[in-house]
Amino acid sequence: MMITWMFGAAILLPVLSGLFLLLRRGKIQNRRLKCVGIFLVMALTALLAVGLICSPDYELTVWRLTDTISLTFRLDGLARLFMGMTVAAWTLGGVFAFEYMKHEENEDRYFGFYLIVLGVLLALDQAGNLVTLYLCFEMMTLTSLPLVLHNMSHEAVMAGLKYLFYSIGGAFTALFGIFYLFANGLTGSFTPGGYLSAGTVSYTGTTGMTLFVLLLIIVGFGTKAGMFPMHGWLPTAHPVAPAPASAVLSGVITKAGVLAVVRVVFYMVGADFLRGTWVQYTWLTLALITVFMGSMMAYKEQLLKKRLAYSSVSQVSYIMFGLATLTVDGFVGGLAHFIFHSVIKDCLFLCAGAIIYNTHRTRVDELRGIGKEMPVTMWCFTIVSLGLVGIPPFSGFVSKWYLAVGSLGSGTGVFTWLGPVVLLLSALLTAGYLLILSIQAFFPGADFDYADVKKHEVNALMTVPMILYAAATLLLGMFPGTLIGFIQNIASAVL
């Protein structure tokens, strides 16, 4: 009973306060009060979420749409992992935004939707069956749209629409699969290990068709994760959003696609069903293409935020690759990379935001010597970049290690070695497109004129989140045991 209340509160509190903010937008004059209020809401939500995370597993059916379609939420390891990441990223991003949004208009709308998306994401993380998952997925798309097109320039609106249509298109593609699975008997809630491999339900679909719809689901939900061939929206949409929004979009919302794929593949169908089929190979191929292509594009890109967005394209497909190996190690590596990449990419975008906020510079080549102006920001930037490249002792190394191990042990023929090679190549490219920035920032070269460079760092509201992220990158890299152990528990249940 208590759980029900907590669950309801965790979702409704941010949604309702977000709505309240939207309705009263522009009417609250005292900004400080407003920010405190928003912070309280986020903190309270975080507390509730933590409370939920610490509570035992549960499954709640909150509503029945029809006799067969119910809205069910369930808490399990995976949900805990995602919820934890979500509230952490949201709180930090929110704090950063208190300062950052000063230079944008319509901040009430921003925070309103920001809070609503938080609630929706918490619901998404706990979605207990296919329909609920789909519902939350669509809701997430719709409510996060205002974050993307926030500044309402023509470019932003168009990017927002692109985001919307790609996401919805992807969701509909996945919906085909959901229709098929559901109509053929997969109506239950998510179960570790899935139904089909275990043969626990009477399933009427044919194997060929099931595999086909699984591919649709992977590609469909993979849209959100920016997986090739449906990645086009991501480099357009993420950069135009305000920086804190880009951070959570890249760090958390793209991962919703990952979550959905995991739920379907590992919790509905079962990994064994997929193992060794053409769908697995297609999935691996798509993931690797995305990994490589994303890095290449990022390397070429000159706009900082866009470069980061391409980097996200590449990195999220690391996760996809790990999952696609269908091995315990790959799974662990994938989910670990999910956490690590979220942390790192959040931080990177916040750094980029801080730079834009402070200096209005958006292009990479304008950043020479900026390390002298904003040392804290650039130090954080450097640390997390190292993490992303995968240099020990930073966190990225751990996940990439597991990914490589998983790939090597997956028995997928050419992919066993091709995977690690591509990952390695991509890591090199990552170094190429991120570390070069740090180098230029701190070592602008002999011809750089230090005269008019003054140190003017952003204030604590912005630096603290970045520092926390950077610290997390380091700590998670040095002491990954707990997290890896937790993920391994999940993995052993589903594989």
Partner 1 sequence: MNSACLALAIALPIVGGALMPLLRLPDKKRNLLIEILVLATSALAFACVLRRPETNFVLFHLTGNMTFSLRLDGLGSVFTCLIAALWPLATLYAFEYMRHEERTTSFFACYTMTYGVTLGIAMSEDLVTMYLFYELLTLVSVYLVMHPMTRKALRASRTYLYYSIGGAAFAFIGLVFLILYGTTTNFVLGGVLDMEKVGGNVQLILLVYVLAFLGFGVKAAIFPFSGWLPKASVAPTPVTALLHAVAVVKSGAFALMRLTYYSFGTDFLRGTWAHFAVMSIAMISVIYGSTMAVKETHFKRRLAYSTISNLSYVIMGVTMMSPAGLLAAMCHMVVHAVMKIGAFFCSGAVLHQSGIEYIDELNGLGRRMPFTFGTFVIFSCSLAGIPLFGGFISKWCIAMAAVETAREIPYAYAVVGVLLYAALMTAIYVFTVVVRAFFPDRGSVTPHPEVTDPNWEMCLPLAVFAVATLVLGLHSGPLLDVLQSIANGGF
Provide the minimum distance between the beta carbon of 156 and partner 1 in the complex, in angstroms, as a whole number. Answer: 8
Contact 73, 128 (CB under 8 A): yes
Subset of residues 68 to 87 that bind partner 1, contact rule: CB under 8 A:
69
Whole-Å CA distances, 391 to 240, 332, 352, 394:
30, 19, 22, 6
Nearest distance in Å: CB 168, partner 1: 4
Q: Which residues pair with 58 in a beta bridge?
A: 75
- Rounded to a whole number of angstroms, the distance between the first and last alpha carbons of the chain is 32
Q: Which range binds partner 1 by CB under 8 A, 130-138, 194-202, 261-269, 371-379?
A: 130-138
Task: Print the binding letters for residues 41-70 with partner 1: x by CB under 8 A, - otherwise.
Answer: ----------------------xxxxx-x-
Residue 144 or 463 having the CB closest to partner 1: 144
* Residue 167, H or E segment: helix 154-183
Q: Alpha carbon of 332 to those of 138, 314, 493: distances in Å?
A: 27, 18, 12
CB neighbour list of residue 405: distance below 8 Å, 6 or more residues apart: 329, 330, 333
Q: Which amino acid is at 209?
A: M
Question: Could you tell me if 167 and 139 are in contact, meaning their C-beta atoms sit under 8 angstroms apart?
Answer: no
Closest CB to partner 1 among 149 and 309?
149
Work out which of 18, 112, 160, 371 binds partner 1, going by CB under 8 A.
Answer: 160
Q: CB of 15: closest distance to partner 1 in angstroms?
A: 13
**From 59, 104, 138, 366, residue interacting with partner 1 (rule: CB under 8 A):** 138
**Cβ at position 231, least distance to partner 1 in Å:** 17
- Shortest distance in whole angstroms from residue 324 CB to partner 1: 24
Query: Binder to partner 1 among 1, 29, 56, 154 (CB under 8 A)?
Result: 154
Of the candidates 11, 139, 219, 462, which one interacts with partner 1 according to CB under 8 A?
Answer: 139
Q: Number of C-alpha atoms within 13 angstroms, CB side, residue 372?
A: 13
449 is a site residue for partner 1 (CB under 8 A): no
- 332 near 491, Cβ under 8 Å? yes
Residue type at position 400: K
Q: What's the closest the beta carbon of residue 233 comes to partner 1, in angstroms?
A: 13
Binds partner 1 by CB under 8 A, chosen from 36, 40, 103, 153? 153
Task: Name which of 31 and 64 has its Cβ closer to partner 1.
Answer: 64
* Shortest distance (Å) from residue 139 CB to partner 1: 7
**130 CB-contact burial (10 Å; exposed 0-12 / middle 13-18 / buried 19+):** buried
- Is 470:348 a contact under the CB 8 Å cutoff? no
Among 8, 51, 169, 192, binds partner 1 (CB under 8 A): 169
Among 168, 289, 471, 475, binds partner 1 (CB under 8 A): 168
Q: How buried is residue 414: exposed, middle or buried, by Cβ count under 10 Å (0-12/13-18/19+)?
A: exposed
Residue 164 sits in the site that holds partner 1 (CB under 8 A):
yes
Q: How many residues bind partner 1 (CB under 8 A)?
A: 38
- 146 near partner 1 (CB under 8 A): yes
With beta carbons less than 8 A apart as the criterion, state whether 312 and 250 touch.
yes
In the structure encoding, which two tokens stand for residue 322, read together?
Answer: 């790990």
**Dist CA 473 CA 396 (whole Å):** 8
Piece of the chain touching partner 1 by CB under 8 A; list 134-142, 222-230, 356-364, 384-392: 134-142
Binder of partner 1 out of 9, 47, 53, 157 (CB under 8 A): 157
Contact 231, 290 (CB under 8 A): yes
The total of other beta-carbon atoms located within 10 Å of residue 281's CB is 15
The 3-class SS string of 340-353 reads: HHHHHHHHHHHHHH
- Are 155 and 229 in contact by the 8 Å Cβ rule? The answer is no
Q: Choose the stretch contacting partner 1; rule: CB under 8 A; options: 167-175, 309-317, 321-329, 346-354.
A: 167-175
**Which residue in 42, 149, 343, 348 binds partner 1 (CB under 8 A)?**
149
Residues of span 172-211 touching partner 1 by CB under 8 A: 172-173, 175-176, 179-180, 182-184, 204, 209
Q: Following CA atoms 386, 83, 97, 170 in sequence, which dihedral angle do they give, to the nearest 10 degrees?
A: 90
Binding pattern for the stretch 360-399 against partner 1, x by CB under 8 A and - elsewhere: ----------------------------------------
Distance, in Å, from the CA atom of 135 to the CA atom of 124, rounded to the nearest integer, reads 8
Q: How far is the CB of 33 from partner 1 (least distance, A)?
A: 25
Q: Does 151 bind partner 1 (CB under 8 A)?
A: yes
Answer for the pair 405, 423: CB distance below 8 angstroms, yes or no: no
- Rg (C-alpha) for the chain, rounded Å, is 22
Residue 225 neighbours by CB under 8 Å, 6+ apart: 254, 255, 257, 258, 261, 316, 317, 319, 320
Binding residue (CB under 8 A) for partner 1 from 131, 186, 265, 320: 131
- Choose, by CB under 8 A, the member of 82, 96, 134, 299 that binds partner 1: 134
Give 164 or 389: the residue with its C-beta nearer to partner 1: 164
| Binding region for partner 1 (CB under 8 A) | 63-67, 69, 131, 134-135, 138-139, 142, 145-146, 149, 151-154, 156-157, 160-161, 164-165, 168-169, 172-173, 175-176, 179-180, 182-184, 204, 209
